[in-house]
Chains A and B, each alone.
Chain A
């Protein structure tokens, strides 16, 4: 990753050019940089950000110059300016800063689709959230708690357990110290949980199926520990007519309508103080290399942002 001097992009007919105030740093950026996720080179990294519209193409109706906007899934955000398809931009309301918007687009919208749509949570239901002090985890715990669910979180350290509890987890299991399967069974009186939200994958998947109640649901939304090996569907009936899903944000923001509704809901939670973001100390754009190193070493609890 090199800091380069490039011309400011011009908008195509359906694009808007945005002056970037903050760009989110995500593990997908590392996957693209390393070539695990293919993309034509050279490229400007970064999928997520927020800023102010400075120019719009001829056909753009949904944004105008001066609008504060945010996005995810648009390549090129590690930059002072980015040209984005206007349909990918969502308005940032007053009460939400550009930095907050950039920090919340991917993880906030993910947490939102998980507990509002992938498995709509009801008050009194019990949730197991893996990596509960992680980027998505801390937001998911807050939303699930606000929905009235009982939240059991798994974390790797006592320090992270504290964060998860502060976010509203009723129980935090330090999986390095005790088996989360046994402990979750104990905590639920043997009944199991209604839903498991699993972004960890390989290391957690099989045991997670063991602690669902009959007809419970496992939502696999990531695989930070590696991909889950192929699953025999008979496992699902043997363990109680279980459901499983493997989800990605794109399918939960597929229409402009849904993208706006979901981002509006998340920004509303932030503005009203119901959703607290944890943003790590910010990096100048020129320190992108350091930001990646820190993300890879998992040094920081909290969202990493680059400030151009």
Chain B
């Protein structure tokens, strides 16, 4: 089979297309013939060596396809099942051997490409809006990077719950995307200070929750626009890591809460993984959650996919297909 292999850390050029044997299913594993693999920033971090990996390895943490073989002890899937997964490496390939308990079924009405595009970002948006903070109708949420991959899905889910969504974006084009996704108010942070504008938009009350994947450049100001007892959800750091901060700021600014969640803790049990993935797939097949698949590359063009992702030219999901 064809696969992308990384032999040593480096730029996009270290990803090579290689011919390697189709993996065999060990006990508790299933082999999946991939229809599509999602391209994510975490793949770049592993490629660069910023996250630890054992070289050589096949990158890719997200994919969807059809089960072609199962190992001993596998009960949850069978040959022919359409499945998707995220959080385990090896999806930049024609076939991948995956822990069976991490595979989720893809329902009718959702294509494999959609499943590969939605699993990581869709489940992230889902846990953020449904569990980390259980948004209620009438509450106000500030979503940073609202036209980003998670952002556009989070805006849609928050809007569907009935929350008022205030979105921050960098350009007019992204503002349009955020509005189409259901944002009630869009702040171009390059033109308008999001802190004073959010205060104005909420009549000085502040928002119930801030969803912040930007980090360093937005965190402190984000605390200033929370209502008393509001929650700051820091779920990424695209502008850099938030430095250590003094907790007294939380009491001074209104007995605030802070959390720093990751998807793994919100899909820790098979039960929760299935519930969450099927909720997301359900929204997609009902037409309530629209994906933005920007570009589909053949597997052999993985290098270009990474260049485009790192160049931040993209506003939608990138997929590799074999």
Contact = CB atoms under 8 A, between A and B. Distances in A.
Nearest to A215: B265
Given A237-B260, A243-B257, A244-B258, A254 B246 contact: no
A224 to B, nearest CB: 15
Contacts of B51: none
A232 B244 contact: yes
Interface of A: 117-118, 214-215, 217, 220, 227-237, 240-248, 251-252, 254
B251 A247 contact: yes
A246 B251 contact: yes
B234 interface: yes
Contacts of B249: 246
A234 B262 CA distance: 10
A226 B187 CA distance: 40
A242 B255 contact: no
Contacts of A245: 250, 255-258
Contact of A243 (B248, B254, B258): B258
Among the interface residues B248, B254, B257, which one has the most CB atoms of the partner chain A within 10 A? B257
A246 B250 contact: yes
Contact of B260 (A118, A214, A242): A242
A263 to B, nearest CB: 18
Interface string B228-259: 11010010000001111111111100111111
B260 A230 contact: no
Nearest to B262: A237
B10 interface: no
A228 B265 contact: no
Interface of B: 132, 219, 228-229, 231, 234, 241-251, 254-262, 265-266, 268
Nearest to B266: A241
A233 B234 contact: yes
A234 B251 contact: no
B255 A247 contact: yes
Given A214-B265, A215-B265, A254-B228, A244 B257 contact: yes
B247 A220 contact: yes
12 contacts: A214-B268, A215-B265, A227-B246, A231-B245, A233-B241, A241-B132, A243-B258, A245-B255, A245-B256, A246-B248, A251-B228, A251-B251
A230 B246 CA distance: 4
Contact of B247 (A240, A241, A244, A252): A244
Contact of B265 (A231, A235, A240, A247): A240
Nearest to A254: B228
Among the interface residues A229, A233, A244, A252, which one has the most CB atoms of the partner chain B within 10 A? A233
Contacts of B219: 233
B245 A248 contact: no
A240 B243 CA distance: 19
A237 B246 CA distance: 17
B244 A231 contact: yes
B25 to A, nearest CB: 30
B247 A246 contact: yes
B255 A248 contact: yes
Contacts of B256: 245-246
> Sorted from nearest, which 10 A-B pairs have the closest CB atoms?
A230-B244, A246-B250, A251-B255, A241-B265, A236-B260, A241-B261, A247-B255, A243-B259, A237-B260, A245-B257
